[in-house]
Structure 1
Amino acid sequence: MQRSLLILLGIAACAVATPFQDCGSKGTVVAFEVEGCSAPPCILQRGHSYLVTIQYTSSVDTDTLTLGASASIGGFEVPWPGVDTDACKQLEGTENPCPIEKGTAVDWQFPAEVLSEYPRIQTTATFKLIDSNRDYQFCAKVPAMIV
């Protein structure tokens, strides 16, 4: 019975994940979800916000966690405007705040705002969580279309 429940929970977790290309995650047991996106390209409506969920197990002790969020436009990585890069702020009040110890399961979320001023464009969005050593504990690239 318990095994069946675990299998069902595992299938459910996979069903809501957003497929992505890993771009050098040092953390393990990596999972990623963009709200409303079960298959790329993620369709992002201008003027809306989408919850981004990142789960991983830290490979190192780290005092800080920095968010890198960008989009590829014309071959250049353009930072996501208005994003607070202090990823530890989103972990305050959770079970796994900064500093993070090696082996800690981190469940991190933030709302990604797609501003009305953004152009209608097809792009690749990149999300990184960077530790104190400047290594990527998590790194994902996902095709997206801003409409």
Structure 2
Amino acid sequence: MDFHAVVCAFFLPLLLELSHAEQVKFVDCGSVAGNVIQVDINPCPTQPCQLHKGQSYAVNVTFTSATDSQTSKAVVHGVIAGVPVPFPIPNDDGCKSGIECPIQKQITYSYVNELPVKAEYPSIKLVVEWELGDDSGKDLFCIKFPVQIVS
């Protein structure tokens, strides 16, 4: 197998997978230490994203940092009737979610994490609020996007 065939065999499935990611409409809710460029969720063919119980969704937030930071930590809430309810994610460490730390000012990063939807969650429309904080507690990004949990 020649080099080009190896490259195609490895990267083509990855590119096809990324092509299924959908850009999501979001609201910035207080990104004081960064600037969000784009939010993608895979799969999310319609908006608001329909999240099926028992499945996981890849969330990719592209942002530019406005500060230097040694660490980053994510916090996710489902906002139901104005009340934020903790939404656990598998890994809250942004430095283990696609970001190479230390984070540097004026560099663009691609934060990637999983959003698992447990089977016991109610079928409901809600807003997901996703924050990634720097080592001083300021939000590198804070985004809100609507979703609907379905069976």
- Provide the TM-score with structure 2 as the length reference: 0.78
Alignment of 1:1-147 (within 5 A): 16-26=22-32, 27-28=34-35, 30-37=37-44, 39-91=46-98, 96-147=99-150
In 2, the alpha carbon distance for the partners of 1:20 and 1:38 equals 15
Number of residue pairs the alignment of both structures matches: 130
In angstroms, what is the RMSD of aligned CA positions? 1.9
Native 8 Å contact 1:40 1:142 kept in 2: no
Unaligned runs of 5+ in 1: 1-12
Q: Which runs of 5+ in 2 are unaligned?
A: 1-18
Corresponding letter in the other structure for 2:137: R
Q: What TM-score, normalized by structure 1, do the two folds share?
A: 0.80
Q: Is the alpha carbon distance of 1:76 and 1:43 closer, same or farther for their aligned partners in structure 2, counting shifts above 3 Å?
A: same
Percent identical: 35
Aligned partner of 2:7 in structure 1 is none
1:17 aligned partner, one-letter code: Q
**Structure label with greater radius of gyration:** 2
One-letter amino acid of the counterpart of residue 21, structure 1 = V
